[in-house]
Structures are given as C-alpha cells and as structure tokens.
Structure 1
Amino acid sequence: MDLELTIMNIINFSGDARSLSMEAISFAKNGDINKALKYLEDANSKLSEAHRSQTKLISEEANGVNKPISLLLVHAQDHLMNAITIKDMANEFVDLYKILYDAKGVSISE
C-alpha cells in the first residue's frame, strides 16, 4: 500500500471514529445507552483500523524504511490523536449519563 493511501486510511478511519463517538454522546444524552455503547464499539473498531495503518508506518520506519514526513501525515496523526481523545471522553460521558438517569429514576433503554 502506498504512503498516501495509508495516510488517507488513518484520516478516514479516525474521522469515522470521532463521529461515532460524538453520536454516542448524543444517544446517551437522550437515554439510549445501548445505542451509545454500540456506537462506542464501532468507534473502537474504526480506531483499531486507523491504528493498524499507523503501526504499519511506524514498523517500516523502525526497520529502516524511511518515509517523507508530509503535512498530510501530520494531519493524519492529528486526526487520530483527536479521535482517541474524543472516544475516551465519550466513554466517560456515556457512563455519566447512565449514572444521571439512574439517579433520577428515569427509565433508559439499555
């Protein structure tokens, strides 16, 4: 796989993971904890794919196959780091919404 395609995979999978994580927060806010958890699972899968592409680049570099560092590669890394952060925060938000709904005695779909 060429460098540009690998970079685009990181960007695309990371963007999908970020979007799924944000949607998970919305579902949890509206009381649909099951759907929120499913979206977080899907976000984890997308992040795994992005991480697999990143690991390929890191492994190649560790084996002496140097690639040029481009603005696009930096952009991909930025997307991945932000997606991981948002997914981690989304996990916390979903947990928090579940606790809030439980404390209020509000029925949630779970």
Structure 2
Amino acid sequence: MTKEEQEIVQLISIAGESKAKAFEALKCVKTKDFDLAKDLIAESRNLDLEAHNIQTDLITRELNEDVESSNVGLLMVHAQDHYMTSQLARDLIETLISVLQ
C-alpha cells in the first residue's frame, strides 16, 4: 500500500470515528445528557477537522504538477463518501441537540 493510499484509509477511519461520536451524542440526547452530547459533538467536529486536513493535503498534491501523485480513484471516492456523510451526520445531530435541549 502506498503512502497516499494509507492516508486515504486514515481519512476513511477518522471519518468513521467522527460519525460514531455524533451518533453516540444522539444517544445521549435520549437520556437527556446534553453536556456529554455536546462534548461528543465537539470531538466529532475535531475529528472532521483532522479528516479535512488530510483531504486538503491529498487534493493539493493531486493538483500540484510538480508532485507525483498516484491515481487512486475509487479509494479516494470512497473516502470522500465517508467524510461527507460524517459531516452531514454531525451537522444534523448537532441541530437536533440544539432543538431538543
């Protein structure tokens, strides 16, 4: 596995962890533990930022003609899918927490 592919797999993993934290926050809303829910959303947001930084680096290298980048295609599309759904889940759950509190 190339370094770039490892970074993409890391992006997938971080996005999955972010989404898991967001859904854990939603479970806390059911028990009215809003403080923990907000903490978990903050953790999710931090993970999304970490994923965003990896994504930005990968895209920047892809666009830089001076840096050789492998065409990972489907793997990167898969990573993008995970990253975008984790952001969407976090945004929706964060909104639900604010509405239900």
Q: CA deviation at 1:97?
A: 1.6
**TM-score of the superposition, structure 2-length normalised?**
0.90
Structure 2: segments with no counterpart, 5+ residues: none
| Residue 52 of structure 2: aligned partner | 51
Counterpart contact for 1:29–1:97, Cα < 8 Å: no
| Alpha-carbon distance in structure 2 between the residues aligned to 1:22 and 1:96 | 16
Counterpart contact for 1:15–1:79, Cα < 8 Å: yes
| Residue 72 of structure 1: aligned partner | 75
Q: Matched residue pairs, number? A: 98
Larger radius of gyration: 1
1:30-70 Cα distance to aligned partner (Å, 9 max, x none): 10000000000000111111111100011112222343032
Structure 1: segments with no counterpart, 5+ residues: 99-110
Counterpart contact for 1:50–1:80, Cα < 8 Å: yes
Q: CA deviation at 1:22?
A: 0.6
| Residue 98 of structure 2: aligned partner | 95
Counterpart contact for 2:19–2:44, Cα < 8 Å: yes
| Residue 13 of structure 2: aligned partner | 12
What's the Cα RMSD here? 1.3
Between the two proteins, what is the percent identity of the paired residues?
30
Q: CA deviation at 1:92?
A: 0.7
Q: Which stretches of structure 1, 4 residues or longer, exceed 6 Å deviation after superposition?
A: none
Equivalent residue runs for 1:25-44 within 5 Å:
25-44=26-45
| Alpha-carbon distance in structure 1 between the residues aligned to 2:37 and 2:72 | 36
